[in-house]
Structure 1
Amino acid sequence: MMIAIGYIQVMVEVELRHLGTMVAIVEEGTFGRAAVRLGYTQSTISQQIAALERSVGGAVFDRPGGPRPVRLTPLGVVVLEQGRKLLAKADALSDAIGRFKAGGGRIDIGTFQSVSHVILPALIRRLRDEQPDCDIRLSDMPADDPQVGNLDLVFFDRPIDGDVVQTRLIDDVYFLVARAGDLPAGPASLKVLDGRPMVGCHESCDQLWMGPAADVDARPEIAFRSPGNATILSMVRAGLGWAVLPWLAVYGSEVPLDERLAIHPLQPAPTRGIYLHWPNTESQSPLAARAIEIATEIAAEITAASAAAGAAR
C-alpha cells in the first residue's frame, strides 16, 4: 500500500511496510532484533530501510555498527513521528473496512409515526445487539412529499416514486377504537360509522378508511383532527368521537391494555400497506442489507399479532 505525504514543494511516496520496519527497529534497538520480530532476514530489513531513505531523500538512521543501538537522524525523527500517525490511520482504515463488511458503519433511515413507535425500536435494538458501534441516524418523512434521496432505508405507508426498490412489509389492518361499552364486544360493521363523530388524523391517512366506509354508504363526521395518535386516543377517551386507526397505531399506543377503550375489528376491514424502500443500487451496505432482513422479521411478528388480535375480538 502506498501513502502520499505532502511537503512544501516535494511529494514523496512511502510504503507503509517500510514505516512499520522503521518503527520495529526503533522499538527493538537494532536491525537484527527487528528482523527477528518481523520474521525477515536482516538483509531484507536493510533493503527496506534503504528504500525508505531513497523515498524521503536522506538517512533516517545513524548506524554505529556492531551490537550498539541505532539512532535516529533529525530527518528520521520527522519521518518516525509522521510515520506513526500514518500507520495509525492505516490501522483505523483497515478496522473501519472490516467493521463495514461485517455489518457495522452508518445507516440513515427515514420513518414516520407508527413505524417509529413499533417497528423501529425493535429494529434498532436488534441492530445494536449485533453491531454495538453502528451509527443509526433517523429522519421523519414528510407526509406530502417523501423522498428516498440519500437515505439508506425509508419506511412509508405508500409506495414512493423514484429509482428505488420497495417491499410491502405489512398489510396494516384498521380497527375501530371506541370507549368501552359504546358498542357490543366483537366486530363492527363499517356502517356503524355513518353520521358518527370521529377523531381523525391527516386527510390523506383518513381516506384509507373513509373511502371503504363511503362504499357501504357510511359517512362519518370528522369532529377533530390531530397528527398524533396519543391526542386522538385522548379525545376518544373524552367522548369527542371514535377513531379508526391501523394496527400499528393501536399496538404502539398500548390501547389493548387500556380498560377505558375497546377495540373492534371492522367488517369489511380497511387496510393500508407499510412499505420499506431503498435506493436501486448495487452498492448497498451490509448494515442496510441486514436492517432489511430484520425489518422483514419484525413485520412477520406484527402481522401475526394483528391476526391474533382480530381473532380474539
Structure 2
Amino acid sequence: MFELRHLAALAAVADEGSFGRAAARLGYTQSTVSQQIAALEKTAGGALFDRPGGPNAVRITPLGAVVLAHGRELLAKAEAMTAAVDRFQAGDSRIDIGTFQSVSSTLLPPIIRRLRDEHPGCDLRLVEAELDQPEVGDLDLLFFDGRPGGGTEYRKLLDDRYVLVARQGDFPAGPVRLKQLDGLPLVAYPPICDQGRMENALQNKGIRPTIVFRTAGNEALLSMVRAGLGAALMPLLAARGAGAFNPGLVADGNHSGAAAYLAGDQELLTVHELRPALPPREIFLLWKAGRTQSPLARRAIEVSVAIAADTTSALDSACPSDD
C-alpha cells in the first residue's frame, strides 16, 4: 500500500534532485528519506530513481514517473481534504434548519447574520412549514412551537405569551379579561400547532369566541383585524413579526397593559395583555437524539439561545406584562 508520507518524500526528491536537499525541505534526516524511498520502491516493485552518485543529481526512472504523477494527485487530494476538514471544524459547513413564520421573521434574521459574520463560508439552508408534530427528519435543527417529541434533544428558547390585538378604540386601555372574549368575533390561525391547545384552554374556562376567519398568515390575520372583521389572539412574537407593533414605541409612554402602534398609514392597533393570562406558546429548538452535530450546528444552538434571550427582553420592554 502506498503511504502519503512516502509519496511526499518521492515528490521532494524529484523536485530537489537529491536526497539531502529533500531531507532538508521535509525536516527529516537523509537516512529517513532514503528509508522512505526504499519502502516505496518495494511497494512499487522496482527502482524509482537512478542514483549516479557523487554530485550528480538523481534521476527519476520511468516507473518513478508513473508513481510520481499519481502520487502528486493523491497528495493534492489529501491536502484539499485537510483544508476542507479545517474549514468544517472552523464552522464553514452546511446546516439545514426547519422554521415557522414568526421565527422566520423575528429570531432567524439576527441568528443568520451572526452566523454569517462569524463564518462567511457557511452554507445555511432553511425550510419553513407549520407543523402540528415535530418532524426533524434529515434537518440539523428544527424550531418548533410545542413540546418536543420522542427521539429528539432540545433547548427551550422562550415562552411566547398570548395577547389580544384589536383596533384602537375597540377595548379600553389596559388588560382585557378573558371573559370578555366569550362570543367575541375573532380571526384566528388554523387549529393546529399551539393554536389548538390555546383554544382548548379557553373552552376549558367556558369561553367560546366566534371564529369568523382562519388563516395561516400573520399579515393576513392583522389585515382582517384592521378591516374590523374581528380581534386576534396572537403570540406576542407573531404579532411583532407581522408588524402589529414596533418594539420600543409604546403609545403615550405608558405601560398600562395595552400598547398602541401605527405601521405607516395603516389602522392603529392596540396590543392588550390578557387577565388571567393564557398558558404561553413554548418555542423550542430541536435536533435528532444521538446525532453527532457539526461545530456550525452547535454554534447555531448557542446563538439561537442568546438571540431568544435578547428578543424576550425586547418584547418585555415594549409590551410589559404587568405581572
Per the shorter chain, which TM-score range? 0.7 to 0.9
Name the TM-score, length of structure 1 as normaliser.
Answer: 0.87
Q: Equivalents in 2 of 1:235, 1:55: separation in Å?
A: 78
2:315 is the counterpart of 1:302: no
Give the letter for the 1:266 counterpart.
L
Partner of 2:284: 275
2:292 is the counterpart of 1:292: no
Gaps of 5+ in 2: 247-260
Which secondary structure does the structure 2 equivalent of 1:256 belong to? coil
Name the TM-score, length of structure 2 as normaliser.
Answer: 0.84
185 and 71 in structure 1: CA distance in 2 versus 1, 3 angstrom threshold: farther
1:169-248 to 2 correspondences below 5 Å = 169-204=157-192, 205-248=194-237
Which secondary structure does the structure 1 equivalent of 2:161 belong to? strand
State the shift of 1:282 in Å: 6.8
Q: Equivalents in 1 of 2:291, 2:200: separation in Å?
A: 39
235 and 75 in structure 1: CA distance in 2 versus 1, 3 angstrom threshold: farther
Q: Equivalents in 1 of 2:62, 2:212: separation in Å?
A: 82
| Partner residue of 1:105 out of 65, 84, 93 | 93
33 and 242 in structure 1: CA distance in 2 versus 1, 3 angstrom threshold: same
| Partner residue of 1:122 out of 110, 117, 135 | 110
Is 2:273–2:321's contact at 8 Å kept on the other side of the alignment? Answer: no
Partner of 2:145: 157
Q: Equivalents in 2 of 1:163, 1:79: separation in Å?
A: 50
Is 1:191–1:213's contact at 8 Å kept on the other side of the alignment? Answer: no
Give the letter for the 2:86 counterpart.
G
Give the letter for the 2:217 counterpart.
G
Q: Equivalents in 1 of 2:147, 2:206: separation in Å?
A: 28
Question: How many residues are matched?
Answer: 301
Q: Equivalents in 2 of 1:125, 1:79: separation in Å?
A: 48
Q: Equivalents in 2 of 1:158, 1:51: separation in Å?
A: 62
Is 1:159–1:166's contact at 8 Å kept on the other side of the alignment? Answer: no
Identity percentage of aligned residues: 54
The one-character-per-residue Cα deviations of 1:177-236 (angstroms, maximum 9, x if unpaired) are 112332223322223322222211121243343334334443211111111111111222
State the shift of 1:17 in Å: 0.9
The one-character-per-residue Cα deviations of 1:249-292 (angstroms, maximum 9, x if unpaired) are 11212321351222112222221111122222273333222222
| Partner residue of 1:81 out of 35, 47, 69 | 69
Q: Equivalents in 2 of 1:19, 1:296: separation in Å?
A: 48
Give the letter for the 2:162 counterpart.
Y
Is 1:96–1:105's contact at 8 Å kept on the other side of the alignment? Answer: no
Is 1:147–1:160's contact at 8 Å kept on the other side of the alignment? Answer: no
State the shift of 1:156 in Å: 0.6
